[in-house]
């Protein structure tokens, strides 16, 4: 089956811009959705579809897609953005669900 | 505002069956448009999809778990449940239930999660 690949860790200076990427063949057929997980809490949906945010998600968080790479961009990173971020999509082979390995974002 | 809550034993002995229930409020699990999903997270690790059940009652399981897994729903109680047989320490994880949309694909509501430890 397919897989989604994320960098294990990324850091960003406070107020700067950071991009977190997710690569996988399934992303040619399905948009990725993105989840933020703070320690001890359940994941929270932050981006879905082409570039949609649920209510309550700040507009400094955005999504994009190019080929088989989906990206989550945080423009003007804040301390509260420090978390683990996971991408997810359907597997085009068997319609199961894939998660990326997660990216730990540190805000310096 | 939909809410999900997992419930079940926090400790299961090896070789026994892990059983969890997710109680949904604010939405009907028998209404079309959403699927109902189990996701787990091993301690300190990433997210792993376990399986889901559609509003019609049909289901789809992770290939790695399908031989031990069953998922069912009780529309009268607005609950769906997971049973995982022959558990080992490798099944120790936080188990989340979530609401899944299909097109576009996303999980928009999650339960807080419940830690299940497999140990004698």
Mean pLDDT calculated for residue range A14-41: 95
CB A34 within 8 A of CB A63: yes
How far does the CA of residue A72 sit from the closest CA of chain B (Å)?
A: 15
Predicted confidence band at A48 (pLDDT cuts at 50, 70, 90)? very high
- Report percent pLDDT > 70 for chain A: 99
B49–A96: do the CB atoms touch at under 8 Å?
Answer: yes
- Whose tokens are 């949904």? That residue is B24
What whole-number distance in Å separates Cα of residue A61 and Cα of residue A90? 22
Residue B47 has pLDDT above 90, yes or no: yes
What whole-number distance in Å separates Cα of residue A23 and Cα of residue A70? 6
**Which of A30, A54, A96 is facing B62, going by the closest CB pair?**
A96
How far does the CA of residue B68 sit from the closest CA of chain A (Å)?
A: 16
Burial of B52 (0-12, 13-18, 19+ CB in 10 A): buried
Predicted confidence band at A7 (pLDDT cuts at 50, 70, 90)? very high
- Of A108, A105, A62, the closest CA to residue A86 belongs to A105
The phi and psi torsions of B77 (rounded to 5 degrees) equal -105, -5
Residue A93 has pLDDT above 90, yes or no: no
Predicted confidence band at B103 (pLDDT cuts at 50, 70, 90)? confident
**Which of B104, B110, B113 is facing A31, going by the closest CB pair?**
B104
Look at residue A1 in the predicted model and tell me its pLDDT.
59
Residue B27 has pLDDT above 70, yes or no: yes
Which of B106, B110, B111, B112 best tests the A interface by mutation, with the highest count of A CBs <10 A?
Answer: B106
Mean pLDDT calculated for residue range A90-99: 89
Residue B114 has pLDDT above 90, yes or no: yes
A102–B46: do the CB atoms touch at under 8 Å?
Answer: yes
Residue A81 has pLDDT above 70, yes or no: yes
CB B111 within 8 A of CB B4: yes
Which residues are A1's β-sheet partners? none
What whole-number distance in Å separates Cα of residue B16 and Cα of residue B29? 28
Residue A105 has pLDDT above 90, yes or no: yes
Predicted confidence band at A30 (pLDDT cuts at 50, 70, 90)? confident
What whole-number distance in Å separates Cα of residue B97 and Cα of residue B75? 16
């Amino acid at each position: 089956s397919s897989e989604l690949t994320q960098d294990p860790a990324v850091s960003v200076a406070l107020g700067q811009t950071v991009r977190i990427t997710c690569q996988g063949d399934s992303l040619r057929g399905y948009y990725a959705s993105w989840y933020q997980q703070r320690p001890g809490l359940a994941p929270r949906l932050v981006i879905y579809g082409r570039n949609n945010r649920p209510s309550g998600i700040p507009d400094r968080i955005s999504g994009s897609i190019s080929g088989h790479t989906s990206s989550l961009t945080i423009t003007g990173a804040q301390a509260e953005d420090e978390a683990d971020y996971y991408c997810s999509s359907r597997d085009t082979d068997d319609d199961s669900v894939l998660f990326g390995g997660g990216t730990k974002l540190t805000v310096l | 505002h939909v809410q999900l809550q997992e419930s079940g034993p926090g400790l299961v002995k090896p070789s026994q069956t892990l059983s969890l229930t997710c109680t949904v409020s604010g939405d009907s699990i028998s209404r079309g448009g959403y699927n109902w999903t189990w996701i787990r997270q091993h301690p300190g690790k990433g997210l792993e999809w376990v399986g889901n059940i559609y509003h019609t009652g049909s289901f789809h399981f992770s290939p790695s778990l399908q031989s031990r897994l069953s998922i069912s729903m009780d529309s009268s109680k607005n609950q769906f449940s997971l049973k995982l047989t022959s558990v080992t320490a490798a099944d120790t994880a936080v188990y989340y239930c979530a609401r899944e949309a299909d097109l576009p694909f996303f999980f928009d509501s999650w339960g807080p999660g419940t830690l299940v430890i497999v140990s004698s």
